[in-house]
RNA sequence: GGCCUUGUGGUCAAGCGGUUAAGACGGCGCCCUCUCACGGCGCAAUCCCGGGUUCGAUUCCCGGCAAGGUCACCA
């Protein structure tokens, strides 16, 4: 068999030799410790938490080491393409402060492009031609039906499925057979002529998983599809080599194809990058857990967190706590430091998959929001409201002064202790709604209606908007005493049976009347913000 | 089914031959207190199972079991 001739027949014309690409894309002149990492999504436009998870790891490792993070678009499968997807990915990640140094749609030197795989087709073909010429790849004319039948047979025979060894029928086609098939216009793919033996295992050092055993590959995988576009495997080897990636951090669903990639790098004469296969985020699905899936878990898309109004920093902090187990401790010690100062270590990444825990995220969110200044909080809420809020909520921002007072009170600013009531923007705006409108619904009163009205009437009779907090509350105590409630908690606790209840019960009536809720920040302060007219109006409304 | 990976409280986890087995979230209780929140204190709850090795195994070895991933001209 004249492989040289075969290569020319299959891929006629001039293709640059591999050396030319080596020269065109030379090693980057970076320090040996600098990591070049990448994100290589397919352009579906859908990103979920799992993607963010990997993205943060790649970003940290690259930028912390003085390296490069680039964006490559794996658009070899046109079925996956969605318009505007690339911009959507960049935008979504920018929200979480992940920035690329180069790549698709990124301003930069971009000396290692193009970054869309479809635009790199000639490069892949050049390497494929070289492989064919060297006898390391061959055309395969098997149809989908052929392959399906093969798979059935292998399954029935309890053999490993796939195109390999004695099952690789086209592997040993004669020149005449190939000529005939070509002449007949049969479509074909290019397959790798694998040299491996899966019985032979190697120890491989994965940056995350540690030492793992990897069998040799014997699958004659497709490297060029019938449309001349490469498969992921082939494109991965060529791109990550030519773009001089030093570390590939990707989901562990790729672990199973590592043998293929290793053989590809070897047969192409490329130096292998380092690999880190990280566990995927899991979610409970009924009784069992499974990895996050874009198909099944739309609520875990990044868009979901934006819509809910989670602060990006909260999401990022949560991702970081899952990514590096010592992050939480570090963050506790350095609450004021930028997140980028945390010494991220790939070796600290977990070997097993973490279950996504909304409770934990919510707790982190509360802490993050409680650390914002009133201005920062207002900005955050405004941005969210403009995109997702109701017209009523957007109107909150017309009176900045009032909003500031509301937020200052609800965040506990000025007091000795910050409050931590807020989790998301959506929930926050909902939480402060009573400052802007009569509460749509009310918590149940603990006392009966007669008592409620008595409290309300007594309050209305003595209310003076000019009273300070001290005087105001002393009046509440008087109302309590008049109605047979203990004015002092001390007294009530000493002898509960002597009273109908305590001043707490009376205060609750007022609280529900004004805010609709049994729980709120300091009531007197709320009334000050509401203003006397509103206070009187709500007193009347509460009677009904 | 084959191959690979992983198994410490409900969740995230520290631990790497000898520990009262950290810490965080969640739960529960108490204190503070006009409510809530904050804060403080406390409680319950864990080393998948079985064999080894060892004076001693959560830690090492073997075997189970369970969970996850993967077996495409998708990435």
CATH 1.10.3720.10 fits A449-543, yes or no: no
pLDDT at A287: 64
Residues 323-342 of A with CB under 7 A from strand B: 325-326, 328-329
pLDDT at A283: 79
Q: Please give the residue that has the higher pLDDT: either A35 or A492.
A: A35
Q: What is the DSSP string of A95-115?
A: HTT---SEETT--S--TT---
Asked whether strand B has any atom less than 7 Å from the CB of A248, the reply is no
Q: Tell me if A393 sits within 8 A of A422, measured CB to CB.
A: no
Asked whether strand B has any atom less than 7 Å from the CB of A353, the reply is yes
What are the residue boundaries of the structural domains of chain A, listed by start? 3-15+121-272, 372-435, 449-543
pLDDT at A544: 64
Residue A334 has pLDDT above 70, yes or no: yes
The yes-or-no answer to whether A3-15+121-272 and A449-543 have a common fold is: no
Lowest-pLDDT range, A89-98, A319-328, A486-495? A486-495
Which whole number is the average pLDDT over A13-34? Answer: 96
pLDDT at A282: 82
Q: Rounded to whole angstroms, how far apart are CA atoms A225 and A502?
A: 79
pTM of the model: 0.92
User: Which of the four pLDDT bands, split at 50, 70 and 90, describes residue A496?
Assistant: confident
Q: Tell me if A273 sits within 8 A of A248, measured CB to CB.
A: yes
C1’ B17 / CA A211, Å:
22
ipTM of model over 0.95:
no
Tokens standing for A245? Answer: 């990636």
Chain B footprint positions (protein CB, under 7 Å): 1-8, 10-14, 23-26, 33-39, 67-75
Asked whether strand B has any atom less than 7 Å from the CB of A147, the reply is yes
Nucleotide closest to A222 measured between CA and C1': B73
pLDDT at A286: 65
* Residue A508 dihedral angles phi and psi, to the nearest 5°: -65, -40
What count of other Cβ atoms lies within 10 Å of the Cβ of residue A201? 13
Q: What is the DSSP string of A338-372?
A: -GGGS---GGGS-SSPPBP-HHHHHHHHHHHHHTS
User: Which of the four pLDDT bands, split at 50, 70 and 90, describes residue A207?
Assistant: very high
Which whole number is the average pLDDT over A265-282? Answer: 94
Q: pLDDT tens for residues A38-65?
A: 999 999 888 888 899 999 999 999 999 9
Q: pLDDT tens for residues A415-452?
A: 778 899 999 999 999 999 999 999 988 999 989 999 99
Strands in A169-227 per DSSP E: 189-192, 201-206, 210-215, 222-224
To the nearest 10 degrees (0 to 180), the angle between helices A121-133 and A232-242 is: 100
What count of other Cβ atoms lies within 10 Å of the Cβ of residue A94? 12
Tokens standing for A146? Answer: 């052929």
- Counting residues of chain A whose pLDDT is more than 90, the rounded percentage is 83
Which is catalytic among the residues A225, A291, A294, A477?
A294
Asked whether strand B has any atom less than 7 Å from the CB of A481, the reply is no
Asked whether strand B has any atom less than 7 Å from the CB of A229, the reply is yes
Reply yes or no on whether A296 is catalytic.
no
Asked whether strand B has any atom less than 7 Å from the CB of A202, the reply is no
Q: Tell me if A438 sits within 8 A of A384, measured CB to CB.
A: no
Nucleotide closest to A284 measured between CA and C1': B11
Asked whether strand B has any atom less than 7 Å from the CB of A189, the reply is yes
C1’ B40 / CA A480, Å:
30
CATH topology of domain A3-15+121-272: 3.90.800
C1’ B34 / CA A426, Å:
29
Asked whether strand B has any atom less than 7 Å from the CB of A201, the reply is yes
C1’ B73 / CA A223, Å:
9
Tokens standing for A511? Answer: 């609280």
Which whole number is the average pLDDT over A298-311? Answer: 87
pLDDT at A465: 95
Q: What is the mean pLDDT of chain A?
A: 93
User: CB under 8 Å to A307, separation ≥6 — which residues?
Assistant: A388, A426
């Amino acid at each position: 068999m004249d492989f040289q001739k075969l290569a020319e027949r299959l891929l006629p014309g001039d293709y640059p030799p591999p050396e030319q690409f080596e020269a065109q894309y030379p090693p980057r002149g970076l320090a040996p410790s600098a990591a070049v990492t990448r994100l290589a999504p397919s352009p579906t436009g859908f990103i979920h938490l799992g993607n963010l998870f990997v993205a943060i790891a790649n970003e940290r490792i690259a930028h912390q080491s003085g390296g490069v993070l680039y964006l490559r678009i794996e658009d070899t499968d046109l079925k996956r393409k969605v318009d505007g997807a690339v911009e959507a990915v960049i935008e979504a990640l920018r929200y979480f402060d992940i920035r690329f140094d180069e790549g698709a749609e990124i301003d930069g030197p971009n000396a290692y492009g193009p970054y869309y795989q479809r635009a790199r087709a000639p490069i892949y073909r050049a390497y494929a031609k070289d492989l064919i010429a060297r006898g390391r790849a061959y055309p395969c004319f098997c149809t989908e039906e052929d392959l399906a039948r093969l798979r059935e047979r292998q399954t029935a025979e309890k053999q490993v499925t796939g195109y390999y060894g004695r099952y690789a029928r086209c592997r040993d086609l004669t020149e005449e057979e190939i000529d005939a098939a070509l002449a007949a216009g049969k479509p074909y793919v290019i397959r790798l002529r694998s040299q491996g033996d899966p019985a032979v295992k190697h120890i491989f050092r994965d940056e995350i998983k540690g030492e793992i055993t990897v069998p040799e590959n014997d699958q004659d995988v497709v490297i060029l599809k019938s449309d001349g576009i490469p498969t992921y495997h082939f494109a991965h080897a060529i791109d990550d080599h030519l773009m001089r990636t030093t570390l590939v951090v990707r989901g562990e669903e790729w672990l199973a194809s590592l043998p293929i990639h290793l053989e590809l790098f070897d047969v192409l004469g490329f130096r292998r990058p380092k690999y880190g296969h990280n566990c995927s985020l899991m979610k409970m699905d009924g009784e069992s857990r499974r990895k996050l899936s874009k198909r099944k878990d739309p609520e875990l898309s990044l868009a979901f967190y934006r819509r809910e109004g989670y602060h990006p920093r909260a999401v990022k902090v949560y991702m970081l706590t899952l990514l590096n187990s010592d992050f939480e401790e570090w963050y506790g010690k350095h609450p004021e430091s930028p997140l980028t100062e945390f010494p991220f270590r790939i070796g600290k990444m977990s070997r097993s998959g973490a279950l996504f825990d909304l409770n934990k995220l919510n707790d982190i969110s509360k802490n993050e929001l409680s650390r914002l200044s009133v201005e920062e909080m207002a900005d955050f809420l405004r941005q969210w409201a403009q995109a997702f809020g109701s017209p009523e909520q957007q109107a909150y921002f017309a009176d900045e002064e009032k909003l500031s007072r509301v937020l200052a009170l609800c965040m506990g600013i000025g007091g000795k202790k910050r409050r931590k009531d807020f989790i998301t923007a959506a929930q926050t705006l909902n939480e402060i709604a009573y400052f802007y409108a009569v509460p749509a619904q009310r918590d149940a009163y603990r006392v009966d209606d007669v008592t409620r009205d008595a409290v309300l009437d007594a309050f209305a009779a003595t209310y003076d908007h000019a009273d300070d907090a001290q005087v105001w509350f002393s009046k509440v105590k008087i109302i309590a005493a008049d109605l047979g409630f203990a004015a002092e908690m001390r007294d009530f606790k000493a002898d509960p049976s002597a009273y109908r209840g305590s001043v707490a019960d009376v205060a609750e009536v007022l609280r529900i009347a004004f805010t609709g809720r049994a729980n709120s920040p300091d009531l007197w302060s709320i009334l000050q913000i509401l203003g006397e007219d509103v206070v009187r109006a709500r007193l009347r409304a509460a009677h009904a």
